[in-house]
């Protein structure tokens, strides 16, 4: 998704409540980012002038820890419309997708929860942008109410310069996450699994998580920003109370979820936070995304990298790297749900 639309809100200052959970969270992201900084200084490629996500390709693979508590290795809201994606108006061609994880036999539905630390927990994964949106531009351009104003139902998403689409990327990462989280005993539901012609619209995506009474919802995306803009960022809901939107109850838990994901994403992938939004924190707060505004359960978005930058694109198109991304996001969810 491209961020040519509304300005980002600056990351809010830390809360002053100093309970044990808050203290732990306060240490989590800085520690992870410090670890990334040491990695970049000692083992990083250093070939991109100190960009926040300099640790690409093989270096990232070498520095990544072995899979941990999120389980064994094995789609928007993209509000995304909300995100004013740059999609060039053309349908990206399918690219070879080495290492892709297969979908379960029942699209969008979770397999029966097993035993594990997340038994009884419900996780909704929201893969941004349906691959079929390109054939349904009239439908996805329909306006829907997001509380503060109206936005398009959805967008097509972006793609790499070689035609690997954001929609394919998000579904692949979602499938990998589903395997990891179900292995931990969670009940997992996808908002879409390329099992419908287009959509769902951003308001419906929010309702899916609400109806499921999800303990955590994560919307998966990749950005479409300019060349040289690199790294991931996690988008948090800001306080909104307008029309059908009231995020006040989820702002704090969503921030905790986002911080956990950011810290684990750094450790799992070896890649640093965005060098173009978030002030190096990897965290951005927004009040203009319907998928967040209409959620009544903890929810965040993650932009895993920038598809329009060749170095980030090399990672996003790698099945091995997507497994690391899925691992990092999943471990962040596990950490959040286990407290």
Please choose, from the candidates 215, 220, 239, the residue with its C-alpha nearest in 3D space to the C-alpha of residue 293. Answer: 239
Encoding tokens for residue 46?
Answer: 């250093």
Residue numbers annotated as active site: 303
Can you name the residues that pair with 123 across neighbouring β-strands? 188, 216
The H helix count followed by the E strand count for the chain is: 9, 10
Alpha carbons 108 and 208: distance in angstroms, whole number: 11
Residue 235's H or E segment, with its range, is: strand 233-237
Encoding tokens for residue 140?
Answer: 């996805």
Query: Three-state secondary structure along the chain?
Result: CCCCCCCCECCCCCCCCCCHHHHHHHHHHHHHHHHHHHHHHHCCCCCCCCCCCCCCHHHHHHHCCCCCCCCCCCCCCCCCCCCCCCCCCCCCCCCCCCCCCCCCCCCCCCCCCCCCCCCCCEEEEEECCCHHHHHCHHHHCCEEECCCCEEECCCCCCECCCCCEHHHHHHHHHHHHHHHHHCCCCEEEECCCCCCCCCCCHHHHHHHHHHCCCCEEEEEEEECCCCCCCCEEEEEECCCEECCEECCCCHHHHHHHHHHHHHHHHHHHCCCECCCCHHHCCEEEECCCHHHHCCCCCEEEEEEEECCCHHHHHHHCCHHHHHHHHHHHHHHHHHHHHC
């Amino acid at each position: 998704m491209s961020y040519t639309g509304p300005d980002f809100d600056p990351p809010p200052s830390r809360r002053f409540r100093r309970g044990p959970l808050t203290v732990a969270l306060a240490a989590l992201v800085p520690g992870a980012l410090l670890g990334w900084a040491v990695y970049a200084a000692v083992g990083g490629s250093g070939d991109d002038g100190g960009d926040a996500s300099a640790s690409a390709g093989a270096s990232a693979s070498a520095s990544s820890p072995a899979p941990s508590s999120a389980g064994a290795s094995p789609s928007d809201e993209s509000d995304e419309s909300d995100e004013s994606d740059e999609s060039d108006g053309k349908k990206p061609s399918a690219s070879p997708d080495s290492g892709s994880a297969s979908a379960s036999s029942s699209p969008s539905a979770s397999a029966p929860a097993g035993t594990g630390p997340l038994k009884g927990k419900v996780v909704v994964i929201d893969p941004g942008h349906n691959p079929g949106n390109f054939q349904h531009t009239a439908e996805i351009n329909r306006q829907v109410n997001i509380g503060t104003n109206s936005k398009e139902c959805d967008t097509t998403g972006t793609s790499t310069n070689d035609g690997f689409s954001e929609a394919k990327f998000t579904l692949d990462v979602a499938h990998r996450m589903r395997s990891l989280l179900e292995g931990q005993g969670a009940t997992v539901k996808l908002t879409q699994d390329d099992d419908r012609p287009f959509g769902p619209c951003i308001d419906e995506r929010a309702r899916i998580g609400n109806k499921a009474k999800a303990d955590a919802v994560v919307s998966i995306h990749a950005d479409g920003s300019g060349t040289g803009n690199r790294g991931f960022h996690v988008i948090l809901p800001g306080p909104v109370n307008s029309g059908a939107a009231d995020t006040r109850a989820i702002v704090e838990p969503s921030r905790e979820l986002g911080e956990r994901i950011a810290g684990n994403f750094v450790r799992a992938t070896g890649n640093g936070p965005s060098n173009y939004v978030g002030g190096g924190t990897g965290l951005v707060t927004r009040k203009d995304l319907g998928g967040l505004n209409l959620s009544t359960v903890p929810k965040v978005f993650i932009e895993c990298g920038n598809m329009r930058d060749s170095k980030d694109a090399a990672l996003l198109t790698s099945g091995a790297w997507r497994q690391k991304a899925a691992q990092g996001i999943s471990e962040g969810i596990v950490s959040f749900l286990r407290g």
